[in-house]
Amino acid sequence: MRTLEPIKIALLAVGGDGGGVLTGWIAQLAENNGYFVQYTYIAGVAQRTGATVYYIELFPTKNLQDNVAEKTPVLSQMPGPHDVDILMATELMEAGRSIQRGFVSKKTTMIFSTNRNLAIREKESAGDGIADGARIFEMTEKYSKKSLFGNLKLIATKNGSIISSSMFGALAASGTLPFSKEEFIKVIETSGGKGIKQSVNSFNEAFQYIKDFTSQPKPYLPDMRPAVFQALPTSVSSKKLSEVLEEIKSKFPKETHDVIWHGLNHVVEFQDLKYGKVYLDKVAQILQLDSAEKAYQLTRQTAKNLAVGMAYDDLIFVSDEKTKKYRQKEVYQQVGAKENEIVNTLDYLHPGYEEVIGFLPAKMGLKYIDNAKMRDFYKRKFDKDRRMHSTGLFNFLMLYVMGGMRGWRMKTFRHFEEMENVDQWLKRIKTIAKVNYNLAVEVANSYRLKKGYGDTYKKGHSKFAMLNKYAADNMNVPEIEEKVRHILSVAIQNHDKKETEKLIASL
């Protein structure tokens, strides 16, 4: 007699990816073909909507008495270290987590999707907090027997299904289970419920994708890549934008066209074309200090960050965003709702004293921003969390009206304050550029710290002010630009301004 080993499958799925459905399909497939099946799962709520580990063991029961001493197999309830035959993950970071947890070894075939569902830690970073997917991919290649991957979520979405169907197709194409493609499809077709046709279509496309992959492996392409500015268009349909398009072509060097065009569009969308022309005038002032020899680095960095600085977050912007059509589409996609279904959206709001005062006329805001009695009154009466069903008629109309008050924005205290900050920043860049060009580029890039509103804005502005003062006070120090670049990197990654203060003090 010889000992038969069960087929051991571990599945790491993010909440909403249908991990339970996929596990049920695998179990049904094995039982249909005379296998004894046992599966368990451990739910997690540590990241995203909860990552769950499903563990499945399949044991062949046909002619069992001829092969093993006992007729009833004893199977494990959890994967053992380096003892998993098939590892499936519905998201790239979960594939990396499976290696970290010791599930993967040289006996393991990994099947995973390269799509990303960002973790809270990645989202809350003030800078680019997204984990390096390329490093995770390298680990899957290094530690597993075979690595099969692709954006299986994209395939499922394209076919109107969820990722469990495309993962099932990838599993079938991998050849790791002794069952035919037809037997896989039969499980889906007899599973009941809605969307069977869409699930089969998703299965088939993923099956073919992995089949092609095994014969000719494809390179890893990150699901999220840095944005690239497209080239300046030759013409636009809008007559007003046509005028500024020609102005960009005539006044600015070709090397800066792409970033200036996108910056202009960002500012115009935030306010209007008149405001966009103000943006171009401010960029033109910096261009006078730049040259082709420097590849116009200063102009490009200033144009990019100036657009963000001039399109700041205020009550008008936030209200407008909450009533945009594309927001509704995103919400429907996130919850998997159809167009004819009703989705009720609950928004969490907490307008602080600065946001409210910022909405007042500039002179009035300047009078009350440092008024201790007014601040204390607001804190006692109004400073609290609010919940609003933004899909309700009254609330939607209130947000819609406020979001349309762009004409009022130019008169508000917040606009006065932001333009004062921008002008001081540009003046500082001009002064530093005459002494240290590379340092001026870093100062131009420092506006990245200013974003959001409320506490996020306060912390960012505080770090921005500290870094700029340090740069201005030490512009004649050798290699100061490298120190400022390091401070900026630390400031972006750390929410608390104390880390930035400590670093500047040590330098």
pLDDT bucket at 66, cuts 50 / 70 / 90: low
Domain ranges in the chain?
A: 7-215, 238-311, 315-409, 412-507
d(CA 12, CA 136) in angstroms, rounded, equals 15
Chain segment 239-276, per-residue pLDDT in tens:
888 889 999 999 999 999 999 999 999 999 999 999 99
d(CA 507, CA 504) in angstroms, rounded, equals 5
Longest dimension (CA), the chain: 92
d(CA 149, CA 26) in angstroms, rounded, equals 19
Average pLDDT over residues 220-249: 84
Three-class secondary structure of residue 309 per DSSP: helix
Considering only CA atoms, give the Rg of the chain: 29
Report H helices in 236-387: 239-251, 257-270, 273-287, 297-310, 315-322, 325-335, 353-358, 362-368, 372-381
Name the residue among 163, 159, 161 with its Cα closest to residue 115. Answer: 163
CB 16 within 8 A of CB 115: no
Chain segment 428-484, per-residue pLDDT in tens:
999 999 999 999 999 999 998 988 777 778 888 999 999 999 999 999 999 999 999
Among 11-20, 32-41, 298-307, top mean pLDDT goes to 298-307
- The pLDDT of residue 1 is 41
CB 205 within 8 A of CB 159: yes
CB 6 within 8 A of CB 74: no
Strands 346-349 and 386-389: antiparallel
7-215: what fold?
Answer: Pyruvate-ferredoxin Oxidoreductase; domain 3 (3.40.920)
Three-class secondary structure of residue 361 per DSSP: strand
- The pLDDT of residue 3 is 61
Q: What is the DSSP letter of 256?
A: G
Residue 6's DSSP bridge partners are none
Of all residues in the chain, what percent carry a pLDDT higher than 90? 64
Chain segment 309-351, per-residue pLDDT in tens:
999 999 999 999 999 988 988 888 877 788 888 999 999 888 8
- The pLDDT of residue 349 is 85
- The pLDDT of residue 50 is 58
d(CA 52, CA 39) in angstroms, rounded, equals 13
In this predicted structure, the answer to whether residue 290 has a pLDDT above a threshold of 50 is yes
In this predicted structure, the answer to whether residue 69 has a pLDDT above a threshold of 60 is no
d(CA 159, CA 209) in angstroms, rounded, equals 14
d(CA 158, CA 117) in angstroms, rounded, equals 17
Three-class secondary structure of residue 300 per DSSP: helix
What tokens does 507 get? 């330098």
